[in-house]
């Protein structure tokens, strides 16, 4: 039987924790937009672009220790397990994960000193902050790039991914098309000619990083302007139902679908 809540692949039950309340795990992130009041019209028009506020989830977990000493050690284990960037997922929704850091933990337990008995059980409330508000496919996706447009399966939020282009001796353009086939003008990157199978370009769209492979050796020291002759890094928006292609050679896109809830 699968567990309820997993932190970095570990069922929190293994830490002596029983989930009681998962806050608004299923909720969507809050969007902040600017707006403008158009002349001579009632109402306000929201800005096309907006930004998400970090999601904050306060979990309610029962700590089921068997002794006071055990409670201390269990709480320490909890702090160790909740350090760093956490991959969080639910047992009944195990294909999607979110990434969070713990930024506080309430522990409103009864203290034995007040009640005259030992009470090792406690309730703890780790506050998880998802600075990346979206959830991701737990497993990455891999799709081929060729001169035939490939419709990229998307989630409900934009995604970036890492493209690798190889096998073209002529200048190659990496680009995306919208549903219906029209080229997306801001989703195109043209590179200088590759030297056949011995050279490749890897494009990390999220981090704006290019890596060049020549005879199998990776190098990031070549300036972007040396190889990138036009265009700029781009992401894919599910609103476009995008398809990606290269104008010569072949390649691949590695990415994770992103979801708003």
Partner 1 sequence: MSLITPTYAPRAQTSRRSRLPFHWNAQNGLVTTALTPQTGTFSRASTAPLATGRDGRLVGPRAQGIPAWEAWDHDGDGAFQTAGLNMDLARTNLVTTQDISAWTDSGSPTTTAVPSPYAGVSAYLIDDNDGATAEYKIRTVAFTGDAVKAIAIVMKKGTAAASTIVLRDTSAGADRLIATITWSGTDPGTPAVPTGTYLGKRELWNDFWLVLLQTASVTAANTNQLWLYATSSTGADTGSTYYALPTAANAPFLSNVLTASQAAVKPDLRFTFPFPVQALSFYLRFTEIGQIFAASTGILASICLNGTSTTDPRLSIYRASGGAGYEVSWDPGTETTATLAALPALHQSTELLVTLDTSGVATIYQSLAEAATTSAAASAQSLPATTTYFGNSQADARLVIGDIGASGTAPGALSLHACKVDWGVKTMAQMRVAF
The contact set with partner 1 (CB under 8 A) reads 8-11, 14, 80, 83-87, 95, 99, 101, 137-144, 146-148, 150, 153, 162, 164, 166-167, 197-200, 202, 213, 215-218, 250, 252, 254, 256
Q: Show the tokens assigned to 215.
A: 């005879």
**How many whole angstroms separate alpha carbon 152 and alpha carbon 144?**
10
52 versus 99: smaller Cβ distance to partner 1:
99
Q: Show the tokens assigned to 65.
A: 């220790």
48 versus 217: smaller Cβ distance to partner 1:
217
Q: What's the min distance (Å) between Cβ of 10 and partner 1? A: 5
Distances (CA, A) of 117 to 51, 113, 247: 50, 7, 74
**How many whole angstroms separate alpha carbon 214 and alpha carbon 223?**
15
106 versus 218: smaller Cβ distance to partner 1:
218
Q: What's the min distance (Å) between Cβ of 101 and partner 1? A: 7
**How many whole angstroms separate alpha carbon 220 and alpha carbon 214?**
11
Q: What's the min distance (Å) between Cβ of 128 and partner 1? A: 14
**Count of positions (residues) in the chain:** 261
* CB distance 4 to 66 below 8 Å: no
Q: What's the min distance (Å) between Cβ of 166 and partner 1? A: 4
Q: What's the min distance (Å) between Cβ of 183 and partner 1? A: 19
**How many whole angstroms separate alpha carbon 7 and alpha carbon 26?**
17
Q: What's the min distance (Å) between Cβ of 43 and partner 1? A: 41
> At residue 193, what are phi and psi to the nearest 5 degrees?
-60, 140
**How many whole angstroms separate alpha carbon 256 and alpha carbon 26?**
19
Q: What's the min distance (Å) between Cβ of 182 and partner 1? A: 21
89 versus 120: smaller Cβ distance to partner 1:
89
How many CA atoms lie within 13 Å of 171's alpha carbon, on the beta-carbon side?
A: 10
80 versus 208: smaller Cβ distance to partner 1:
80
> At residue 13, what are phi and psi to the nearest 5 degrees?
-60, -30
68 versus 142: smaller Cβ distance to partner 1:
142
6 versus 120: smaller Cβ distance to partner 1:
6
Secondary structure element (H or E) that encloses residue 128, with its range: strand 122-130
């Amino acid at each position: 039987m699968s567990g309820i809540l997993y932190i970095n692949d570990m069922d929190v039950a293994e830490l002596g924790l029983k989930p009681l309340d998962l806050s608004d795990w299923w909720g969507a992130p809050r969007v902040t937009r600017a707006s403008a009041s158009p002349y001579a019209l009632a109402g306000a028009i929201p800005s096309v672009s907006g930004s998400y506020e970090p999601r904050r989830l306060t979990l309610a977990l029962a700590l089921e220790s068997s002794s006071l000493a055990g409670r201390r050690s269990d709480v320490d284990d909890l702090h160790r397990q909740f350090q760093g960037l956490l991959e969080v997922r639910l047992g009944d929704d195990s294909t999607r994960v979110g990434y969070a850091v713990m930024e506080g933990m309430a522990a409103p337990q009864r203290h034995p000193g007040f009640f005259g008995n030992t009470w090792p059980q406690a309730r703890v409330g780790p506050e998880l902050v998802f600075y990346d508000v979206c959830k991701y496919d737990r497993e990455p996706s891999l799709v081929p790039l060729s001169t035939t447009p490939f419709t990229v399966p998307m989630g409900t939020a934009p995604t970036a991914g890492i493209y690798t282009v190889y096998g073209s001796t002529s200048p190659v353009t990496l680009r995306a098309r919208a549903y219906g086939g029209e080229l997306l003008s801001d989703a195109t990157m043209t590179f200088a000619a590759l030297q056949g199978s011995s050279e490749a370009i890897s494009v990390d769209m999220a981090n704006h990083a290019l890596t060049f492979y020549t005879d199998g050796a990776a190098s990031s020291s070549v300036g972007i302007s040396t190889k990138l002759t036009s265009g700029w890094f781009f992401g894919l928006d599910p609103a476009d139902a995008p398809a990606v292609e290269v104008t010569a050679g072949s390649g691949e896109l590695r990415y994770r679908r992103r979801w708003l809830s």
